[in-house]
């Protein structure tokens, strides 16, 4: 996506005027550019051409059916962390044999459901899970394919809450432990342990941690092969970062692909990538409206109709998102604390942000909101989940309508009947 165009014409996305769109769809809502997502997917596929590879989209980034369908149309698989994500992926047309199941807390029921559906492989994160996988597969009379998730103890230089590949993180196992799993593989005949997996963190803006982790995987792979083990698959998780701030310099996909080619030259199996944010973050915006401007003692608050329940990243990670008013006429630049209506101080999108002055009723777009935006939304403060709209070359389709009050409270009931526990 061309960042320059975005900043010059902030009201345009994928040929759709967001101001027009807001006359049809009440704010706040997410809007996603289908062409931006397609572009990101094909850029990655082009860079990997010639390799035996599979891209498995990390569904957690944005699990909306219309987004998953775009992935399915381009031959992309899924990286899932729950049966819910599996079912969404299957319904959207992603075949089971392109689905990898990650996560530290898979339950026996989830493992059984995934085996039943025929998912491609499990990324296993602990010996307890490995034993459970063996037991469930044995009970079902099937063989499960598994990769061991290695924790390479690499500092990805990202926010502590989204770092996953350091030894203090809950993810994966140390190489010494993985070595034992391979050595004792014969004792678990219903698990075909023939893969390596890693994921070192999200929003990574430098190639260096990837280089370190990839070399670590290659060295371990070579050791295992020398011992006679077959490694059919290496899953190179670790999220390519995107430019949230104008000065952010994301890793070029071509450089990332060149590194993979260099480190895994001669590898005879399938390489898997499991990007989430990189494919969808920059394709999405949150369109919101100014409810009011409140002048405090020493600052002005821009109160939007979107809140932390709609986009949690600024509150949770102090994440910086571009915030741009969609009015045309020139206005003086002022500083606002940009906040939502939720009743806590953490409901803040930005502090003292310099931006053109706004008026009540103005539309504002919050940028780079296609990943971990809607997917982390909640109904906190009894605010229904907001609409999501797909844009495609000048057309739009509401792909998730705003939740109704009845839908929000569906499942609740008063204690009409009490049971002895
Ligand atoms: N695979 C695994 C096993 C993961 O844990 C993750 C992300 C991904 C793939 C996708 O990573 P990505 O390509 O999106 O960087 N909510 C946070 C991000 C948490 C990511 C956790 N794991 C945020 O809003 O920044």
- For residue 278 and ligand 1, the question of a CB distance below 6 A is answered with yes
- For residue 392 and ligand 1, the question of a CB distance below 6 A is answered with no
Rounded Cα distance between 189 and 23, Å, is 60
Instruction: Answer yes or no: are the C-beta atoms of 182 and 224 closer than 8 Å.
Output: yes
Give residue 58 CA to ligand 1 midpoint distance, Å. 7
Residue 4: its pLDDT value, please? 39
Consecutive 10-residue runs of the chain (421 residues): their mean pLDDT?
Answer: 56 98 98 98 98 98 98 98 98 98 96 98 96 98 97 79 71 93 97 96 94 96 98 94 96 97 97 98 98 96 98 97 94 97 96 97 98 98 98 98 98 94 92
Residue 157: its pLDDT value, please? 75
Closest CA to 37 of 274, 254, 252, 279: 279
Residue 361: its pLDDT value, please? 98
Residue 1: its pLDDT value, please? 42
Output the residue whose Cα is nearest ligand 1's atom 8. Answer: 58
Rounded Cα distance between 77 and 55, Å, is 6
Report CA dihedral (404, 319, 47, 283) to the nearest 10 degrees.
30
Residue 162: its pLDDT value, please? 66
Give residue 176 CA to ligand 1 midpoint distance, Å. 25
Partner residues linked to 33 by β-bridges: 391
- Tokens representing residue 276 in the block: 């989430």
pTM tops 0.85: yes
Beta-carbon contacts of 392 under 8 Å, excluding residues fewer than 6 positions away, are 14, 33, 34, 35
- For residue 312 and ligand 1, the question of a CB distance below 6 A is answered with no
């Amino acid at each position: 996506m061309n960042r320059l165009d975005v900043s010059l014409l902030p009201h345009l996305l994928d040929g759709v005027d967001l101001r027009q769109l807001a006359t049809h769809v009440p704010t706040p809502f997410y809007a996603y550019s289908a062409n931006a997502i397609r572009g990101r997917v094909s850029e990655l596929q082009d860079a990997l051409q010639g390799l035996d590879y599979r891209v498995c989209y990390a569904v957690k980034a944005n699990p909306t059916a219309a987004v998953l369908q775009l992935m399915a149309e381009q031959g992309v698989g899924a990286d899932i962390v729950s049966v819910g994500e599996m079912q969404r992926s299957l319904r959207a047309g992603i075949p089971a044999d392109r689905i990898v199941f990650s996560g530290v807390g898979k339950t026996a029921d989830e493992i059984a459901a995934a085996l039943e559906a025929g998912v491609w492989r499990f990324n296993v994160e602990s010996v307890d899970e490995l034993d459970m996988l063996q037991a469930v597969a044995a009970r079902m009379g099937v063989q499960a394919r598994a990769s061991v998730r290695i924790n390479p103890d690499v500092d990805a230089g990202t926010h502590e809450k989204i770092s996953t590949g350091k030894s203090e993180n809950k993810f994966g196992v140390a190489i010494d432990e993985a070595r034992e799993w391979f050595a004792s593989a014969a004792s678990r005949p219903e698990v075909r342990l023939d893969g390596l997996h890693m994921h070192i963190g999200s929003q990574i803006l430098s190639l260096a941690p990837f280089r370190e982790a990839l070399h670590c995987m290659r060295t371990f792979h070579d050791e295992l092969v020398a011992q006679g083990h077959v490694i059919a698959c290496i899953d190179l998780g670790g999220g390519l970062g995107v430019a949230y701030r104008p000065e952010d310099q994301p890793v070029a996909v071509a450089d990332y692909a060149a590194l993979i080619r260099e480190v895994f030259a001669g590898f005879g199996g399938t390489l898997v990538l499991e990007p989430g944010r990189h494919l969808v973050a920059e394709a999405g915006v949150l369109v919101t409206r100014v409810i009011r401007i409140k002048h405090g003692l020493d600052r002005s608050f821009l109160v939007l109709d979107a809140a932390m329940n709609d986009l949690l990243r600024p509150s949770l990670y102090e994440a910086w998102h571009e915030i741009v008013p969609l009015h045309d006429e020139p206005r003086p630049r002022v500083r606002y604390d940009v906040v939502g209506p939720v009743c806590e101080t953490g409901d803040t999108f930005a502090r003292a942000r310099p931006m053109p002055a706004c008026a009540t009723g103005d539309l504002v777009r919050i940028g780079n909101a296609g990943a971990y935006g809607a997917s982390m939304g909640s109904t906190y403060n009894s605010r229904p989940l907001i609409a999501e709209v797909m844009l495609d070359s000048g057309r739009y389709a509401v792909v998730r309508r705003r939740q109704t009050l009845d839908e929000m409270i569906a499942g609740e009931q008063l204690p009409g009947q009490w049971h002895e526990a």
